[in-house]
Chain A
């Protein structure tokens, strides 16, 4: 059991008496009450638990929290730029009415955010590759793809 210092969504969080092998997912959900990151499979094959660690998509269900000291962890709760301004992907998700049950969408959004951060104008092939780790049981992939393209267009315009 150790004391863990994590930087989550820009805030320093200290956790005492933690087993360092505890997956980040359960630290987020059960200890920090950040329940937007979802449990789906527990073996990194469904993507529902995707968060960003130093900007890279990571499956929180299979990532021990003990190795994340000093790294920047971003969860769905920290994706929006502010209380008022959603991330362009979040707005595109709303505009395209992407969600059905909605359970996978936090993970989808985090994978898409990582994609747009390094590939601002992704092709369909880029999207296929970046989103391959995220299952949607309801089958909203067609709208996810459209929403990523919409958000990419907005991002590139806002940067121009």
Chain B
């Protein structure tokens, strides 16, 4: 195996742990700050106090003199009553630019119409986590943001109490004002006075009770929607600077290839080309792989020059991966009931299978897929005045600071990153390879450069959702109860020891803890193609296998699948890994009730149910499909029932579920990435056919707003989609789909 790729995979795996397991739900990670970071922050912002961090500085005094109230880094209330809230997280389409400020505004008791939202500087020493991944934004920041609002509200109340000379207990707040009976003082009127007060310890400030919420749970349009619909420059690719030049960066089509030589002299003579040079890179796919940079006067000139570029690649260590060969090997291995390593073995599976009234076996295959965000990878970088400055559409700008500093060999203090809006994340931009590349080009060029990948490069150089293979056998007893489950998972590894990123299976995964006789083993196939987190990593593929195979078993037993699934869930209890079987049962009941489970359907129609727990979210979904004699399929309706605790922004949360359904459907319907001789075979959307508006089903979203702490919704609505649809296809036709995408089994769109 190639040491380069091993190294890479460890870095991605570390990221995956951070994304998936970084913090326990609802935990408040205290923001620690040192003096230097604080001063850097105040230098950028012109005054402000960190939550729970009280001091007097000249900048603070200046802010106070201006009549502004800056109780912490998230908030500034000016004398005219406008309330500026800084969103600390990357907006990748998940709606955090609206959701985060709403949480602060709720505890502040602000009038939402008074609130203006701006993107915060990237400074994790001040703001804590500044990443978007793992649906962790809401659970990780819920307490921090509530306290940021509550501290300010407490100080405004103290200011009003002093002005009126009344006890603070006699006061209340609403609509950006402090109230004492019928008289009120607006927050703007109190700003200067509040700015002179000591900031209370956030731990001592009382948070609102849920019943008193005025803002949370209602529907809000995104705070930047007006800018989006008028074409304002928001995204990374929209960045403009005086003297900006435009770059491309060509890498080996087979990952791991190095530059032997290139026709640089010819390229430099082409119209509009300013420079062309080889970058050795550091051999990490998450940072800088070897390649050729071209800098030109326009993006088009750079693209044109890229087409003329001829590179002699040294492919000694490059990937030779072949999907057809890997799939053939997996089919052979699938004949073995148990893989090379047993991961879980509870009860006595062999005995249970022998004693089963009915057994079922199946071999499931799903492909690699690409993230394909619509905004191709890009980044603007400028090396000047001893610093390297970036404008990056990253999902992990906080992590990018240290990654980029390490890759470029500069101190982290000399790196500045400006967070831009992100034209789709889906996990792709957890990696900051394109940021590092832009930095490496900027270090060699005098002036700001914008690196833009072509769509073809974006599809070729992804960290793909890994494909996989599952050889399953299960059994039910005479009463139709699930008694045995055996899964030989054939997956991939970069190092021959552990599965590639996103290509593993957790020992806690349902239904391991819901039955007596359960066995899970795996066999690892060698892989060099980079893999990584893709929307609902792991869950986006294994939920399909688990929930379809469960349906195979309930169908074999002649059981109603809803009853069977509820029986497998069992009594309400909390399982290892966070699955709460009571919450699961509640969403299964709600989804089936709303869908009219069991009602008579038109000929050729079928209904399918699936459940999956991931990212702290419990989701059940019911699909209604029709399939004609020519295997032409239509998804008519998808009913989604989810429990993610209290909803922050109802419109935003529903939008995430609607999008999750379409993404899940699109992916399972016709998308696959294949590779031969290490080269990705698909180049652009004509070979990677995302579904279009005519294919949109009616999506209905229902939430159970339980009393559990709120959790994220960018991902957990996606995993049940594919199994719900496949179970519906079985109900409509009796055909069991065991290979994705559906087009591989001859289905097409009606």
A residues neighboring B (CB under 8 Å): 1, 19, 22-23, 26, 29-31, 33-43, 45-46, 48, 75-77, 79-80, 86, 89-90, 93-95, 97-106, 109, 127-128, 131-132, 134-145
CB atoms of A30 and B246 under 8 A apart: yes
Q: Is B235 an interface residue (CB 8 A)?
A: yes
Interface residues of B in 602-656 (CB under 8 A from A): 651-652, 655-656
Quote the shortest CB–CB distance from A74 to chain B (angstroms): 11
Q: Is B240 an interface residue (CB 8 A)?
A: yes
CB atoms of B373 and A35 under 8 A apart: no
CB atoms of A97 and B225 under 8 A apart: yes
Name the residue of chain A whose CB is nearest to the CB of B664: A139
Given known contacts A97-B651, A102-B423, A30 and B300 CB-to-CB distance under 8 angstroms: yes
By the criterion of a CB under 8 Å from any partner CB, how many residues of chain B are at the interface? 64
Quote the shortest CB–CB distance from B519 to chain A (angstroms): 37
The one of B230, B455, B660 in contact with A77, judged by C-beta atoms closer than 8 angstroms, is B230
Name the residue of chain A whose CB is nearest to the CB of B685: A45
Q: Report B-chain residues with C-beta under 8 Å of the C-beta of A132.
A: 692-694
Quote the shortest CB–CB distance from B657 to chain A (angstroms): 10
Given known contacts A94-B225, A94-B226, A137 and B424 CB-to-CB distance under 8 angstroms: yes
B residues neighboring A (CB under 8 Å): 92-95, 219-222, 224-226, 228-235, 237-238, 240, 246, 271, 298-300, 303, 372-376, 421-426, 452, 454-456, 651-652, 655-656, 658-663, 666, 684-686, 690, 692-694, 696, 698-699
Quote the shortest CB–CB distance from A135 to chain B (angstroms): 5
CB atoms of B658 and A43 under 8 A apart: no
CB atoms of A140 and B659 under 8 A apart: yes
CB atoms of B423 and A101 under 8 A apart: yes
Given known contacts A39-B452, A40-B376, A75-B231, A142 and B690 CB-to-CB distance under 8 angstroms: no
CB atoms of A38 and B375 under 8 A apart: yes
Nearest first, the 4 closest Cβ-Cβ pairs linking A and B are A36-B231, A139-B662, A101-B93, A103-B423
The one of B228, B237, B300, B692 in contact with A99, judged by C-beta atoms closer than 8 angstroms, is B228
Q: Report B-chain residues with C-beta under 8 Å of the C-beta of A137.
A: 372-374, 424, 426, 663, 690
Name the residue of chain A whose CB is nearest to the CB of B244: A30
Given known contacts A35-B233, A75-B231, A139 and B666 CB-to-CB distance under 8 angstroms: yes
Q: Report B-chain residues with C-beta under 8 Å of the C-beta of A144.
A: 693
**9 A-B pairs (CB sep. < 8 Å):** A23-B300, A39-B452, A42-B303, A77-B230, A94-B225, A100-B95, A101-B375, A135-B690, A139-B658
Q: Report A-chain residues with C-beta under 8 Å of the C-beta of B651.
A: 97
Q: Report B-chain residues with C-beta under 8 Å of the C-beta of A40.
A: 374-376, 455, 685
CB atoms of A142 and B698 under 8 A apart: yes
The winner among A31, A138, A145 for most chain B CB atoms within 10 A is A138
The one of A35, A76, A142 in contact with B696, judged by C-beta atoms closer than 8 angstroms, is A142
CA distance A101 to B237 in the complex (A): 13
CB atoms of A31 and B298 under 8 A apart: yes
The winner among A75, A106, A145 for most chain B CB atoms within 10 A is A106
Quote the shortest CB–CB distance from A53 to chain B (angstroms): 17
Q: Report B-chain residues with C-beta under 8 Å of the C-beta of A48.
A: 374
CA distance A99 to B421 in the complex (A): 12
Q: Report A-chain residues with C-beta under 8 Å of the C-beta of B220.
A: 97
CB atoms of B376 and A141 under 8 A apart: no
Q: Report B-chain residues with C-beta under 8 Å of the C-beta of A94.
A: 221, 225-226, 229
Q: Report B-chain residues with C-beta under 8 Å of the C-beta of A22.
A: 298, 300
CB atoms of B230 and A100 under 8 A apart: no
CB atoms of B231 and A42 under 8 A apart: no
Q: Report A-chain residues with C-beta under 8 Å of the C-beta of B656.
A: 100
Quote the shortest CB–CB distance from A108 to chain B (angstroms): 9
CB atoms of B300 and A142 under 8 A apart: no
CA distance A134 to B425 in the complex (A): 19
Q: Report A-chain residues with C-beta under 8 Å of the C-beta of B271.
A: 1, 19
Q: Report B-chain residues with C-beta under 8 Å of the C-beta of A23.
A: 300
CA distance A142 to B661 in the complex (A): 11
